[in-house]
Amino acid sequence: MTTANLLSFTPDNMTKSWWNGNARLTKFSGLLLGAHLAHAGLIVLWAGTRVISEVGNFDPSLSFPDQGLLLIPHLAALGFGIGLDGTVDTYPYFVIGVLHLVASAVLAAGGLYHVFGGSPVLEESENSRAVKFHYEWNDHRQLGLILGHHLIFLGVAALLFVLKATTWGGIYDPTVGTVHTIDNPTLNPATIFGYLFGRNHGVWSAQGLASVSTLQDVVGGHAWIGALEILGGIWHIQKPPAPWSRWLLKINAHAVLSYSLAGVAWMAFLSCFFLYNPLVFPPELYGTGKDSLANVQFLLGLTALGGHVWHASISRAEVQAKSSRVSDSKVPAATKSSSTVVEKEIQDSPEDVTTIKETPQGDVDASAEVKVEETETKDP
């Protein structure tokens, strides 16, 4: 069966061909960092070129949905390029696109450096700061430190959105059709965390988080997310993972990737519900027919979920293979402890005595010795 073949997949029979991608770099922290930077550069490059392309083909006489725009509606929802009278200025979009191109070049340079100029393993780098971020897959403490830095970056990004909405020009409000700052964001934890349980201001909704109905709640939720992520990042930098988490979450290269893919899949599935929320995806920006967008998100979620299952299976195979090797290494010792050790000592003495010591390792105390002496009879 396919399941049996998948679970029997072990690192020993894994072919490190080009199609294995980053799986070839799991033992090289420097090269893997370079690959991550290169991937990030490609993503940012796509975003920049796509925005500039949409700016070049923008027709002010047509609505956003009629032009098939993909990224400009996201920028407009963030309050960029929309005037008080609803007019659209594409220059901010062009600037944002150029900034993404510059950022992609910086990321690409970093990726090329770590692949061709830096040390393949960060631990061997001459840069002390680079050495700080070297990791081994069985070092939970170091992986927690890296996780903490990721959380802090995500938290800062969430708080930047809060500042943009409340201070730096505001965001687009579909209820009034203009851009304005959001005053008094909701910070009541009962209201914000009530969405996790389907409670929207005391009223139950099957949409859960996707049922958010006010921009104050949207901004307040990001404030809570940003604060919690930064606090969580500081915690993981300062504290090693708890024993229960090390027992619950098996850690190796494929396991970490599988957990990440599971998170991406969950966000993709959740976004399918958010697409139909007119507050966060206004019809005047994204159109009314969102089924195609939801289908794309759903398929991306399925792809990520499949990757999660695949890498989780390989991770489990690695753990099982490691456990088997540990068990096999203990077999000789177990056999030895269950058998009787016979030590024969031949002593040169006038009586030509042969002493045999038998030391059972189990029911009889190890200090007990049974000596059998045999004396040759000499002819007179």
Q: Same domain, yes or no, for 262 and 277?
A: yes
Domain termination site, one of 90, 115, 134: 134
Say if residue 234 is in the same domain as residue 304: no
Strand partners, 346: 354
- Which range of residues forms the domain containing residue 68? 20-134
User: 235 and 195, same structural domain?
Assistant: yes
Q: Do 141 and 201 belong together in one domain?
A: yes
Q: Which amino acid is at 26?
A: T
**pLDDT 10s digits, 273-315:** 999 999 999 999 999 889 999 999 999 999 999 999 999 999 9
25 with 121, same domain: the answer is: yes
Our count of domains for the chain comes to: 4
Give the separation between CA 136 and CA 239, rounded to whole angstroms. 17
9 belongs to a structural domain: no
Q: What is the pLDDT of residue 269?
A: 96
Which among 101, 99, 90, 110 is positioned nearest to 36, based on CA atoms?
110
Specify if 15 maps to a domain: no
At residue 156, the pLDDT reads 98
Whether residue 311 lies inside any domain: the answer is yes
**Whole-number Å distance between alpha carbons of 149 and 129:** 14
pLDDT at position 323, please?
78
High-pLDDT (> 90) share of the chain, %: 65
What is the residue type of 370? V
* Angle formed by the axes of helices 140-166 and 215-238, nearest 10°: 150
Amino acid residing at 104 = S
- Cα angle 366-353-375, degrees, rounded to a multiple of 5: 115
Residue 177 lies in a domain: yes
Is the torsion defined by CA of 167, 172, 177, 182 positive or negative? Answer: negative
Residues in the chain with pLDDT < 50?
1-14, 334, 336-380
Q: Does residue 12 lie within any of the structural domains?
A: no
Looking at 248, 264, 292, the residue that finishes a domain is 248
| 159 plus 259 within the same structural domain | no
Of 134, 164, 189, which marks where a domain is finished? 134
- Whole-angstrom CA distances from 320 to 56, 136, 312 are 55, 19, 12
pLDDT, residue 16, reads 62
Residues 345 and 325 in one domain: no
Interatomic CA distance for residues 68 and 287, integer angstroms: 9
**For residue 377, what is the DSSP state?**
P
